[in-house]
Structure 1
């Protein structure tokens, strides 16, 4: 039994077995994602992992406002504004007035970078599609909710230190 777990679920299928398996699996998964090569067209741009989420939103959902991006990424609009400014200066994103409301700014991937970004994100998206497609909608929701709960629990553990 792991220290502090409060219950003994040893044996095949127990919580401790699953934790052990996940503790071995997670670093391998992160390592594989980090080894996805940045396309040549983007290598000089010094893109960081935080940029991947923002670019994924724009790639899959299309152009949107900073506030919409912030809501999707679950971060403050100022954080998104800083990333957008950085990526705009690098020629990766474009900010333009919303035709429906000229006061509002819409963020989009510049057409010249779209294919390189799509190629960069495609292996991860294809792998997720392959493993999620056979699952029922409720199973997919459970999987995503479990990952979110894990992220929140890790953040909570760090606050308690």
Structure 2
């Protein structure tokens, strides 16, 4: 197995269920059209069909189907590389570009969070980054300062 073909197929099939899909499809079709112009339209249609299958497998929770689809595209990409070995650099660029898209363009997993607090307990939950500024007293530089009146002020002014 050619490592770049494995990586390209994996990134391609993964992108099919993300916001990166259109960019990945356009890049792969363009690459194919330059190498084998007569196959460009067919590859475009096959990518679209594969995406339908990937989305259906995601909906049904069939992880094996997605792995099988990635294996099919790995074989296609390996055949393309045997025909046009110079494409390896372009495939690496494809993997770097599509694989390094911002998180908003990548798949978002379903997240379920549950929490319980009692008394004066606090709960902070996030599906991604969290920045807590509560309790930060101006000029104190301490983020975990308990809530209360600002330092040096009278309680009745608060």
TM superposition score normalised by structure 2:
0.25
Task: Specify which structure has the higher proportion of strand.
Answer: 1
TM-score relative to the length of structure 1? 0.25
Which protein is richer in helix relative to its size? 1
Higher relative contact order (CA 8 A, sep 6+): 2
